[in-house]
Structure 1
Amino acid sequence: MNLTTDAILTADSHLIQSFCDLNALKQNGARTVITHAKGAMVRDSDGRELIDGIAGLWCVNVGHGRREIIDAITRQLETLDFYSTFYNFTHPSAAMLAEKLASLAPGNLNRVYFANSGSVANDTAIRMLQHYNIRLGRPEKRKVLSRVGAYHGSTHLTIAMTTPAYSKGWFGAHDLVHHLRSPHYWREGGDMTEAEFLDALMDDMRDSIERIGAENICAFAAEPIMGAGGVITAPAGYHRRARQICDDYDIKYVADEVVTAFGRLGHFFASEDVFGMVPDIITTAKGLTSGYQPLSATIISDEIYEVISGPGEKFLHGMTYSGHPAAAAAGLANIALMEAEKIPERVRQTGRQFETLLRELTDLDIVGEVRGSHFMMGIEFVRDKRTKASFSDEAAIGMKAAAAAQKRGLIARPLGNVLILSPTLVMTPELIDRTGDILRDSIKEITSAL
């Protein structure tokens, strides 16, 4: 399709974009049209080459244009374009991908439910646990613990699990969710040491459980590193201790690895290999197919599966496209490619280079904190580094930084006063250095204009 930018934007007036200011789009129509992609780069409709600093949206882990995945999808469509995994039907791609995920997941997480987005994967996890408790004769055990700063999706349930800032003006299943304290030490720790702050977070968790009643709570859901809430990393040991509290109160731990899985932190799954604990459920999407097809997975323990698969009731949950053959084929090819090229292992080196380079930006006047790990990083801008005072929303510092970077050839994601970087995992050392130079020059430009 060979269309001009104007023709594309005219047609685009009918498209509703996600998580954006729709009124602003109506007023000024400022959009970037991406038309081509290869490796770590994308090209816009005016022919400009840009570093894909957000990997599509946290997801194109193996880079764009990989023939291995494209050909696998094509072969699958030529063989079996679609059949459902409803009732007693299955097909080879879904079966083989489920087996592969069970082999990669930690502990006894051996059962896999496929859907088409991280939101639905998380929604599925909670629905499964509520059904699990109904089957055990405890229907009141259905509430969910989440955290301020979390992002778990935008379905009616998962938007309630997401940090309250994302649901302003929207209804959700808020009566089912309680948000624990944000684990962001730099912002919330005050005069406490990091160890003292961790103790305070665990006290908050225990106090909340006691107040709500463990008999009413089915799950604690947590991202190993918070993504769309601002790339927030909890204090060391947080997830291990939270897991122990969940065990103490018979609450299931749901690890939302929609972003952190499939190499972004240097491992196929981060829960055990990076954070030292095995959850009851892992949810994932994004890097599962590197974005080549929409696919998510809810991976549950054998213990949960035995309860929900017992006699007496049917499993009344399903999506038409669950385990779609082309999506499952993309997942298998994506994992095979990551294993053959040892991409998670490479990320342990290149990701550290990327992280180190970005952390050096803290010498700039308006950079308050650089946080995250490997290829999952956030840069927070402040008016005053001593007091950590934020810029006003009207200053739109994150948006200005993203615009300055894009002008220089890098796509980054603005989020209030934070700039998020989550590039493809195939970034070369040279491209990482170039990204660091662009960010430094861009931040200097907006600083001089303040």
Structure 2
Amino acid sequence: MATPTRTAFSPADETRLVKADKAHHMHGYHMFDEHAEQGSLNIVAGDGAYIYDTHGNRFLDAVGGMWCTNIGLGREEMAEAIADQVRQLAYSNPFSDMSNNVAIELCEKLASLAPGDLDHVFLTTGGSTAVDTAYRLIQFYQNCRGKSHKKHIIARFNAYHGSTTLTMSIGNKAADRVPEFDYANPLIHHVSNPNPYRAPNGMNEAQFLEFLVKEFEDKILEIGADNVAGFFAEPIMGSGGVIIPPQGYLKRMWQVCQRYDILFVADEVVTSFGRLGKFFASYDVFDVQPDIITTAKGLTSAYLPLGACIFSERIWKVIAEPGKGRCFTHGFTYSGHPVCCTAALKNIEIIEREHLLAHVDTVGAYLEERLATLRDLPLVGDVRCQKLMACVEFVADKRSKALFPDEVNIGEKIHVRAQARGLLVRPIMHLNVMSPPLILTLAQVDEIVETLRECIIEVAAELQASGQYGGQ
């Protein structure tokens, strides 16, 4: 890793940057009032699993940027590969009869890594555009096979599939559904979140599984099996709270899709490229052979933006039928960008050469074990962790699983204290979510868990003192 050369700015520079950020920079998920009052944590350098702010403070980034800094920051060989490609070919038109050798090599590599007959790749600019592409591909495919009525999509409540208008409509995460945006799409339907911790009516996991599968089949029959085109599912739901479904859930849902001629889309934007210890999780972890996989994030470990929609030979044979003269009128200026593709190829090379998938098996198991020790704390309702996807859910009452009122903002309270101790976790209302880099060490796991424990205990004491928590 490269050692950051500048991690602290003068007070005058810091003041100027804070002022300019407030005046000109609208962030993703911009909290207008909060940002105007508090400003942002301005990051200026990164090294491995650590990032540095303008004051020179170092943070262990247990969020992994945004589920994406898989091989760690500051790798010189990544910088060199990117620079060399810029010198060789900085851009190439990706449309129609134009290509470039790096994009071709990446597509070939992805086809070799993807399960089964997922041999065809459409390169995009990120996860949202990969999912958007999958949706359009399904519509194209159904029209090509003469099923113009088979267009409806089913996804899950509290899922996240991206932030274009279309992908935000496929996802149905409650916190994203603000009244100032519109989400109308009559072709998109939703079934229950497969969260065992929140199973209705005291169901055990086996009963909950049967409920979910029946609900899915009932929804298909309600819409009409001949009208349902695809099912979109994250193998583990990420931003919705690291929801690990009941054992066998994905396989059962896939079997229903098979029965009714419904394409299974595995949204692996988060779960691919090592986060669960495999390049792709659908088949190797959950024994499901999807028709389409979407990926991004860990594809380049966030060194440059890139996504991909990887799809089956079955789909290709229909849409590319000889003699039809068809054109897939969909694409992006930066699809197959040679510099981004170079970053992806180098990233994959590093993951393979350094045996990072095997490392994730080891360090991920340790993270699962250590995070589970937080269950003894009174604020902790649930701990969900599989390899390097983790979430702690906080409750006001462990017996009833009742949540704190939104205004308590319990996840943010714990996040603020962790940040003051040099640890970054992601607050999402009553959750703290983690997705650390694949290079995480056992010592860093201990640091994460011990810091979280201290912060949770502190916040519980504060809430008790203010009368907001009874300590159940």
User: How far 1:305 sits from its partner (Å)?
Assistant: 1.3
User: How far 1:167 sits from its partner (Å)?
Assistant: 2.5
CA separation of 1:190 and 1:68: change in aligned 2, threshold 3 A: farther
Is the aligned partner of 1:238 residue 2:258? no
User: How far 1:347 sits from its partner (Å)?
Assistant: 0.2
Deviations 1:398-448 (A, max 9, x none): 000100110111011000100001111111111111111111111111111
- State which drifts further: 1-10 or 306-315: 1-10
| Structure 1 residue aligned with 2:122 | 113
- 1:217 & 1:210 partners in 2: Cα distance? 9
Deviations 1:263-296 (A, max 9, x none): 0011110001110111000000000000000000
- 2:32 & 2:67 partners in 1: Cα distance? 22
Verify the 8 A CA contact 1:51 1:409 in the aligned structure 2.
Answer: yes
Is the aligned partner of 1:353 residue 2:366? yes
Matches within 5 A, 1:40-59: 40-59=49-68
| Structure 2 residue aligned with 1:374 | 387
Matches within 5 A, 1:29-428: 29-165=38-174, 166-169=176-179, 170-310=181-321, 311-428=324-441
- 2:108 & 2:432 partners in 1: Cα distance? 37
| Structure 1 residue aligned with 2:28 | 18
User: How far 1:23 sits from its partner (Å)?
Assistant: 2.5
User: How far 1:164 sits from its partner (Å)?
Assistant: 4.6
| Structure 2 residue aligned with 1:435 | 448
Verify the 8 A CA contact 1:117 1:294 in the aligned structure 2.
Answer: yes
- State which drifts further: 280-289 or 184-193: 184-193
SS of residue paired to 1:20: coil
- 1:67 & 1:161 partners in 2: Cα distance? 38
User: How far 1:389 sits from its partner (Å)?
Assistant: 0.6
SS of residue paired to 1:94: helix
| Structure 1 residue aligned with 2:470 | none
Verify the 8 A CA contact 2:155 2:188 in the aligned structure 1.
Answer: yes
Paired residue type of 1:175:
P
Paired residue type of 2:136:
R
Deviations 1:311-354 (A, max 9, x none): 23211111010010110000000000000001011100001111
SS of residue paired to 1:190: helix
Could you tell me the percent identity over the aligned residues? 43
Verify the 8 A CA contact 1:157 1:173 in the aligned structure 2.
Answer: no
Paired residue type of 2:118:
L
- 2:460 & 2:73 partners in 1: Cα distance? 33
SS of residue paired to 1:174: coil
How many residues align structurally?
449
Structure 1 regions of 5+ residues with no counterpart? none
- 2:351 & 2:271 partners in 1: Cα distance? 15
- State which drifts further: 45-54 or 183-192: 183-192
- State which drifts further: 2-11 or 53-62: 2-11
- 1:202 & 1:45 partners in 2: Cα distance? 50
| Structure 1 residue aligned with 2:467 | none
Deviations 1:237-277 (A, max 9, x none): 00101100001000000000000000001111000111011
Verify the 8 A CA contact 1:5 1:33 in the aligned structure 2.
Answer: no
**Superposed CA RMSD:** 1.1
- State which drifts further: 128-137 or 5-14: 5-14
- 1:352 & 1:344 partners in 2: Cα distance? 12
- 1:103 & 1:34 partners in 2: Cα distance? 37
Verify the 8 A CA contact 1:381 1:418 in the aligned structure 2.
Answer: yes
- State which drifts further: 1-10 or 117-126: 1-10
Task: Tell me the TM-score normalized by structure 2.
Answer: 0.93
Verify the 8 A CA contact 1:102 1:109 in the aligned structure 2.
Answer: yes
Deviations 1:22-47 (A, max 9, x none): 22212x13310111000110111111
User: How far 1:173 sits from its partner (Å)?
Assistant: 4.4
Paired residue type of 1:44:
D
- 1:270 & 1:164 partners in 2: Cα distance? 22
- 1:172 & 1:96 partners in 2: Cα distance? 38
- 1:124 & 1:161 partners in 2: Cα distance? 13
Moved over 6 A (4+): none
User: How far 1:174 sits from its partner (Å)?
Assistant: 2.5
- 1:442 & 1:84 partners in 2: Cα distance? 51
User: How far 1:172 sits from its partner (Å)?
Assistant: 2.8
Verify the 8 A CA contact 1:163 1:229 in the aligned structure 2.
Answer: no
User: How far 1:189 sits from its partner (Å)?
Assistant: 3.9
Deviations 1:158-205 (A, max 9, x none): 111111512332113431210111111111243222111100000000
Verify the 8 A CA contact 2:160 2:173 in the aligned structure 1.
Answer: no
SS of residue paired to 2:311: strand
Verify the 8 A CA contact 1:143 1:176 in the aligned structure 2.
Answer: yes
Structure 2 regions of 5+ residues with no counterpart? 1-5, 464-472
- 2:204 & 2:449 partners in 1: Cα distance? 31
- 1:396 & 1:193 partners in 2: Cα distance? 29
- State which drifts further: 131-140 or 325-334: 131-140
- 1:9 & 1:120 partners in 2: Cα distance? 31
Verify the 8 A CA contact 2:127 2:269 in the aligned structure 1.
Answer: yes
| Structure 1 residue aligned with 2:3 | none
Verify the 8 A CA contact 1:255 1:282 in the aligned structure 2.
Answer: yes
Verify the 8 A CA contact 2:21 2:39 in the aligned structure 1.
Answer: no
